């Protein structure tokens, strides 16, 4: 086929990029080579628009074994135990084909984790949909949730936490971010770097089909009115085969056979072979006649760009081939030596005794385009709306309206579709600030959470970036875990738009500042650009996946009230920030003004002190205050436990709505027995932390003295209302 301008454009390449390809290889590429460049130079694989900003993120501390650059991040949690984790997007495929898009997103992130030698122990997700009244939302929601549950349940990995949000910005571009967490021996971590010449390159797993071709490239382009035509680019997953692949790989890893191993994820065989060779400063020769195919007459182009699932590429030590093959035969999986490593530093592809591609490895990796795109700095928004100028509403009515809204309703109808207890190590599951998973046969656990705040990031990306890291931090603290590290999935619109690029750059700055101050580094992640349709971009939506350590399991803490007649203490200063709040959005359909300010000193001091109180067993329960303010957090504590709370108005109250619905950051609610109150207050005073006793627990009723009294059952009914009506 002649390479025309149209062919180049259809491969997602710009004219200047094509000229660069010709210069690098000193000739015209053939169609296969063009396809390979297209796959490796897209945003999903090359990070060409984000790389200059991502390099500024903090990625190291004493706990980090492996930061960004591998299949997943690795942290040390002591006693030779390591936690391996990562989050990735599968946004475009899930919008086109929700079940398979979501399912293969789960499958892909699981492979990233067990490829490195870890047994996966938990799955999480962050999913965003359009307005509930949008005609597509219901089907997309059902398909995505079914896909997540179907894959995770079948493979036998618990889905322990997540978030589901609705906003009109996602009407034409939903977000499906999947996170996986695994446990490994820190001395048995496996990497993708190839080593040695003439080593066997082995294809294992499922056969290659025509599904998913151009999947990575499709994820690096905006949607348009023809997006439905892209269904063939969506991969098809098989969780039962993935289970076999996982067990076979983990069995092989017990031996010293593997030099390097890489998942065939985005861009399939192309990316896995190139990445392995490049990291090892080697070349790779592959005989495409040996590729196990499930469809007849597949071309080299199709084989190299297929994103068929449940496949791995392994480089083995010499003489280990037969032993390894026996393992994969036992698990009824393909095991084929398809090539060898070379010293040519080229990707050389053979088909029917002909050399059909011969490309310098560095031209596909280190010499891929890197763009310093123009970006516009966001202005800090003015505080336009004031509560006194808005129509008055009864306090009780406002609370009920928020609790019965799509974003704040009970989501157990989703989580009930996920097996949260398989493997029997889940201690605290969905519905808490973070989930807790016991390290098998050990007296310690990890806490995990995923968080996002698109409205804050849209209002002011720098502040929003700070906030979402801090919220992740607080969620881990609230279950008694010491935060260790994060992974991030950065969902943004078109990076060629300076405003969008500015949102990205400033969000990264905010994430950087927060991670540095809290010693909470980024060890893995993913960038998803071009989330939009017909030039209408989503709100900037960075998603943070956090991991913390509970070094000794006693009785895990959560936000359920434990006793009658204990005290509720609010930790942290309340100023009554309502701009960008849930209260303004749900009650008045207003989203203007700045997000709440972040004070790192208070965040760290308050968090460290709450963790100290938890470890000293001075508090019964804890809950961070975030979306919806203190009153929504109090209601959540009450509803989850079926204990009521009698809430007193603070003595220095300026405005009832500002105090209880304000979303000031760095705050917690803790339940304290009266016998421990003196010790708790002394600890808070010694650490210069503002606090207020705002309530006492009771039976049956949730009440704000002088304003309302609601039976707990009625409160729960309101919280379940949206689901029953949808």
List the catalytic residues: 44, 90
Distance CA 482, CA 547 (A): 9
Q: HEC states along 210-276? A: CCCCCHHHHCCCCECCCHHHHHHHCCCCCHHHHHHHHHHHHHHHCCCCEEEEEECCCCHHHHHHHHH
Element (H, E) at 620: none
Q: Which two tokens stand for residue 590?
A: 């207003």
Distance CA 602, CA 239 (A): 45
Distance CA 107, CA 637 (A): 34
CA triple 645-648-653, angle to 5 deg? 140
- The DSSP secondary-structure symbol of 526 reads E
- The DSSP secondary-structure symbol of 288 reads G
Q: HEC states along 399-417? A: HHHHHCCCCCCCCHHHHCC
Distance CA 497, CA 26 (A): 32
Distance CA 109, CA 545 (A): 13
Distance CA 215, CA 235 (A): 8
Q: Which two tokens stand for residue 522?
A: 């980024």
Chain centroid to Cα 209, Å, comes to 28
Element (H, E) at 125: strand 119-129
Rg of the chain's alpha carbons, rounded to an integer?
26
CA triple 311-317-321, angle to 5 deg? 65
């Amino acid at each position: 086929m002649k390479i025309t301008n149209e062919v180049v454009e259809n491969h997602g390449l710009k004219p200047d990029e094509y000229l660069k390809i010709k210069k690098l290889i000193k000739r015209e590429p053939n169609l296969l080579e063009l396809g390979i460049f297209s796959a490796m130079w897209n945003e999903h694989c090359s990070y060409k628009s984000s790389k200059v900003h991502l390099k500024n993120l903090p990625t190291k501390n004493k706990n980090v074994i492996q930061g960004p650059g591998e299949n997943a991040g690795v942290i040390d949690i002591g006693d030779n135990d390591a936690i391996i984790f990562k989050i990735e997007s599968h946004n475009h495929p899930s919008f086109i084909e929700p079940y398979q898009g979501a399912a293969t997103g789960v499958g892909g992130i699981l492979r990233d984790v067990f490829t490195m030698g870890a047994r996966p122990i938990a799955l999480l997700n962050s999913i965003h949909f359009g307005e509930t009244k949008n005609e597509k939302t219901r089907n997309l929601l059902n398909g995505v949730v079914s896909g997540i549950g179907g894959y995770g349940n079948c493979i036998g990995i618990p889905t322990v936490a997540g978030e589901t949000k609705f906003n009109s910005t996602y009407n034409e571009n939903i977000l499906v971010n999947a996170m996986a967490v695994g446990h490994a021996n820190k001395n048995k971590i496996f990497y993708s770097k190839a080593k040695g010449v003439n080593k066997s390159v082995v294809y294992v797993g499922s056969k290659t089909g025509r599904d998913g071709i151009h999947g990575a490239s499709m994820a690096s382009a905006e949607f348009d009115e023809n997006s439905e035509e892209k269904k063939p680019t969506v991969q098809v997953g098989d969780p039962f085969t993935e289970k076999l692949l996982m067990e076979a790989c983990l069995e092989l890893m017990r031996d010293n056979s593997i030099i390097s191993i890489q998942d065939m994820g985005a861009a399939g065989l192309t990316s896995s072979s190139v990445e392995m060779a490049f990291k090892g400063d080697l070349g790779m020769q592959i005989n495409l006649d040996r590729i196990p195919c499930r469809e007849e007459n597949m071309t080299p182009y199709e084989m190299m760009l297929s994103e068929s699932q449940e496949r791995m590429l392994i480089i083995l030590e010499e003489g280990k081939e037969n032993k390894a093959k026996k393992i994969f035969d036992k698990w009824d999986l393909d095991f084929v030596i398809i090539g060898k490593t070379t010293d040519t530093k080229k990707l050389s592809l053979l088909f029917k005794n002909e050399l059909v591609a011969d490309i310098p490895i560095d031209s596909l990796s280190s010499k891929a385009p890197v763009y310093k795109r123009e970006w516009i700095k966001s202005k800090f928004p003015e505080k336009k709306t004031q509560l006194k100028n808005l129509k008055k509403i009864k306090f009780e009515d406002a609370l009920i309206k928020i609790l019965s809204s799509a974003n704040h309703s009970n989501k157990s109808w989703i989580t009930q579709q996920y097996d949260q207890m398989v493997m029997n190590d889940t201690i605290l599951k969905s519905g808490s600030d973070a989930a807790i998973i016991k390290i098998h046969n050990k007296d310690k656990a990890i806490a995990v959470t995923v968080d996002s705040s698109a409205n804050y990031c849209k209002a002011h990306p720098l502040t929003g970036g700070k906030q979402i890291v801090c919220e992740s931090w607080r969620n881990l603290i609230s279950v008694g875990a010491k935060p260790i590290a994060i992974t991030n999935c950065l969902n943004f619109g078109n990076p060629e738009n300076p405003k969008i690029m500015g949102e990205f750059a400033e969000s990264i700055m905010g994430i950087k500042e927060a991670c540095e101050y809290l010693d909470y580094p980024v060890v893995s992640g993913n960038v998803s650009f071009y989330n939009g349709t017909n030039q209408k971009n989503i709100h900037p939506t960075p998603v943070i996946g956090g991991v913390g350590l509970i070094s000794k399991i006693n009785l895990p803490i959560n936000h359920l009230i434990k006793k009658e007649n204990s005290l509720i203490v609010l930790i942290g200063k309340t100023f009554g920030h309502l701009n960008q709040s849930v209260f303004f959005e749900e009650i008045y359909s207003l989203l203007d003004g700045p997000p709440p300010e972040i004070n790192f000193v208070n965040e760290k001091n308050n968090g460290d002190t709450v963790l100290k109180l938890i470890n000293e067993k001075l508090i019964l329960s804890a809950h961070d205050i975030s979306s919806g303010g203190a009153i929504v957090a109090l209601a959540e504590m009450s509803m989850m436990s079926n204990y009521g709370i009698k809430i007193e108005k603070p003595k220095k109250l300026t405005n009832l709505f500002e105090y209880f619905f304000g979303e000031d950051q760095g705050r917690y609610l803790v339940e304290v027995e009266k016998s421990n109150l003196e010790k708790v207050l002394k600890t808070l005073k010694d650490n210069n932390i503002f606090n207020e006793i705002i309530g006492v627990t009771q039976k049956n009723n949730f009440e704000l003295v002088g304003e309302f009294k609601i039976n707990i059952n009625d409160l729960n009914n309101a919280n379940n209302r949206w689901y029953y009506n949808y």
